Every structure is written in C-alpha cells, then in structure tokens.
Amino acid sequence: MALLPLLFFLALFIGTGTALTLRGTAMAFYQLSAAVAVLPALVLSVLLGMGRNKTSLEGQLAIFVRGVGDSNIITMCLIYLLAGAFASVATSIGGVTSTVNLGLALVPPAFVLPGLFLIGAFVSTAMGTSMGTIAAIAPIAVGVGEQTSVGLPLLMGAVVGGAMFGDNLSMISDTTIAATRTQGCQLKDKFRVNLYIALPAALVAVLVFAILGADGTITEAGDYRILLALPYLVILGMALAGVNVFAVLATGILFTGVVGLAVVPDYAILQFSRDIFQGFQKMQEIMVLSMFIGGLGELIRTQGGIAWILERIDAITARSRGENRRRTGELSIAGLVSAADICTANNTVAIILSGGLAEEIARKNRVDPRRSASILDIFSCVFQGIMPYAAQVLLAGSVAGISPVVVAGNNYYCFILALAGIAAIASGRPRLSGSA
C-alpha cells in the first residue's frame, strides 16, 4: 500500500503522455507536467499514512517536509540553479554557438554522438558527479542539435549515458563510496570488478551511437570565436581536475559573465544579472518535481514501502542452494537496489538504504563483497539513467527543452549496462581470487 502512490504517479504521468501520443497529440508528454502529476500521488500517500499509521495530518506533512529538505535533494536543487544560470549566460553571450561551431569544425558530424558520450564519460569519471557533467555538457549538445541533423533525444541520451558511466565508476563518486562502505571492500577492488562489466557496455554503446549518428550532417555551418568558447574549456578543465561541482559552476558563471562584458558589445552588468535570473527560472519545474519526489520517497519509506521490498527479497534468497544461491543472491541485490532507486529517485540514497540488507544477503549467499558493491552501484545507476523523474534525466530534458521520457528512452548505455550486469551475474564473471 505504501508503494501505491508512486505507482499512481507513474501511471498518471507516463500513461497520459502515452495515451495522447496514440491520439496524435503534438508534444504529448508536455501536456501534463510531472510536477503536477505527482500532486495526487502526494495526497494519496498522506492519506494512506494518516489511515494506516494513525498519525495526524501535521505528522505526515512533517515527514514530507523532512524528505523535501533532505541534503541530497537540496544539493540537486542548487546544482539545477547554477547549471541553469551558467547555460543562460553562456547562451546570451554566444558561448554555446561558438563552442558548438568549434567542435563541429574539429569533429565530423558522424562522430558527434559517440564523441559526446566519451566526453561525458571522461568528465564524469574525473569529476565524480553525473549532475555536474550534464550541467556542463548538455548545453553544448543542444547547440549541436540546432546545427546538425542529429536529434536532441539522441544527443541527450548520449550525454546522460556518458555521465552515468562516470558516476558508476569514479573513485570519488558518492555511489562508489556508499557501495564500498556498506559492503566492506576497497575502492580499487570494486573499481576493477565494476570496470570489467561497465567497459564492454560502454564500448557497445559507443558502437550503437556511432551507427545511429552515422548519417549526421551539418545543417548550418557557422563561425566561432575561441574567446567565447573559453568558458566551456575552463569548466571542463576544472571538472577534469576534480574541482568541486559548485566551484566549477560558480566559476563558470562568473568567468562567462566577464568574457561577455569584455567581448560582446552592449553586454552590461544588468544584462548579466538578468541572464542569471532567467537561468534560475528555467529550472523551476524540475526543482519543484525533485522536492516533491524527495518528500514522496520519505513518506513511502516511513510507511514501510521500502522495508516491505527488502523483506520480500530476503525471503526469495533463503530458498536457493549452491551456485544458484549465489546467482539468486546477486539478482536479489540487483532487484533490491533497483526498487530502492525507483522509490527514491536517488542512486546514492538507494545504495545507503539497501546496503545493509545487501551485505547480509551477500554474506548468507556467499557473494564476494567486491561483486555485491559493484552490483549495487551498477543497477542503481542503470535506473537513475532511465527513470523519467530522476534528477539527471530531468536536468538533461530541461536544458534541451524536451520530454524527460524521450531522454530516458534514448539512454542506450544504461540499457546495455543492465544487460551486461545481468550477464555478469548469470556467468559469475569476473572470477575473483583473494579476499576483499
């Protein structure tokens, strides 16, 4: 019952968009905002909590507010604001156009898709955050979409896929740290196991993106100025150096404004301030939705929804024996963290919530901690990259001005990674020696 509001939200949002698409409605998934579709689910969750837990309306609202104010949610919202401001200022001074034209002058259009995926993977691995990576690269991808025949959904899918590759593997990623700490293994050991599974998936994704983008052509060639492209080069350099995402984006905003004031005629301080605020405004919808999803996730957790999932999975693993027991244990860990991520829309939180039980499942079913840590990270990132209400997908959709549903549907890397993860569980590879 605690999970019913989440299912209701997904049915309402995705169901409405699908029904309107079948009726031929243009921009079908834009007709009902996800931030509005989640409201009936919130009401239902509050009513369920009042009825089943015998708590007051004030008590349920307090739980909701606690979820909204979670540090992970607030961090995401701040990144939204800074990313929106940077994109707005860079667009206003012509930085995006110059950066795109520079890139298209150096890279053939047919290699744009795999190139964006590889850049996103490289930056995210160095930076340790998929959100910061998308904030830095998505505006460039939008510019590419305006000047080539490659569609925005594919471009955003490549960017999000690359960002999730690094989020999954980076030694400084929150998900990596959470997975290794809860499973009791070393970062380097988890990285090796994870790389064995994720690297083949990434290579297949590069091939898929190369095939899908092979017919890409430049529809509008343009000039570029290196100085206007410099802000992007600066923030990418800072990201690769491992600088904090807030420092990267704040520096990017300030530096872009300085370049605009120095180079662009009639660009003034007041216009700079208006551009920043306009960027804030563009992020309003995804900020509201993220806060509502955070509150809904906390209501579901306190009403026992996640605990129910944990109990069901634990019961399943208890029935298996031998090598099947190992496979069942690993599949259970994958299902556990996937369900937690679907409920919370936050892969780090999903790992923390499910990590304790995952460690217990691993111990009972003789699953190596290095494998359980990798499985936790892989499947949390898979669902974080394909759920239309996940922060990364929402950010990419918002920057591009397209539905998050189509962004998620074009994130081929995460779908391929899911298959690679399942294959690794079925085959028991990589075979591990020594102790964690």
Q: What is the pLDDT of residue 241?
A: 73
* Mean pLDDT within 88-97: 79
* Average pLDDT over the chain, rounded to an integer: 82
Q: What is the pLDDT of residue 20?
A: 81
Tokens of 299: 């209501």
Residue 277 has pLDDT above 90, yes or no: yes
Q: Range with the lowest mean pLDDT among 217-221, 223-227, 347-351, 390-394?
A: 217-221
- Most confident option among 115-124, 147-156, 165-174, 412-421: 412-421
* Mean pLDDT within 53-71: 87
pLDDT greater at residue 302 or residue 144: 302
* Mean pLDDT within 254-267: 90
Using a pLDDT cut of 90, give the percent of the chain over it.
22
**pLDDT digits over 16-53, tens only?**
877 887 887 765 666 777 788 889 999 999 999 888 76
Q: What is the pLDDT of residue 216?
A: 65
Residue 75 has pLDDT above 60, yes or no: yes
**pLDDT digits over 291-338, tens only?**
888 888 889 888 888 778 777 766 766 666 656 777 888 888 998 888
Q: What is the pLDDT of residue 94?
A: 81
Residue 131 has pLDDT above 60, yes or no: yes
Using a pLDDT cut of 70, give the percent of the chain over it.
88
Residue 126 has pLDDT above 70, yes or no: no
Q: What is the pLDDT of residue 416?
A: 96
Residue 433 has pLDDT above 70, yes or no: no
Closest C-alpha to 231, from 256, 260, 249, 250: 256
Q: What is the pLDDT of residue 330?
A: 87
Residue 202 has pLDDT above 90, yes or no: yes
Q: Range with the lowest mean pLDDT among 182-191, 275-284, 306-315, 338-347?
A: 306-315
Q: What is the pLDDT of residue 197?
A: 92
d(CA 94, CA 81) in angstroms, rounded, equals 20
Q: What is the pLDDT of residue 421?
A: 93
**pLDDT digits over 158-172, tens only?**
999 999 998 888 776
* Mean pLDDT within 209-226: 72
Residue 142 has pLDDT above 80, yes or no: yes
Q: What is the pLDDT of residue 92?
A: 86
* Mean pLDDT within 73-85: 80
Q: Phi/psi of residue 126, each to 5°?
A: -75, -35
* Mean pLDDT within 173-193: 80
pTM of the entire structure? 0.70
Residue 72 pLDDT class (50, 70, 90 cuts): confident
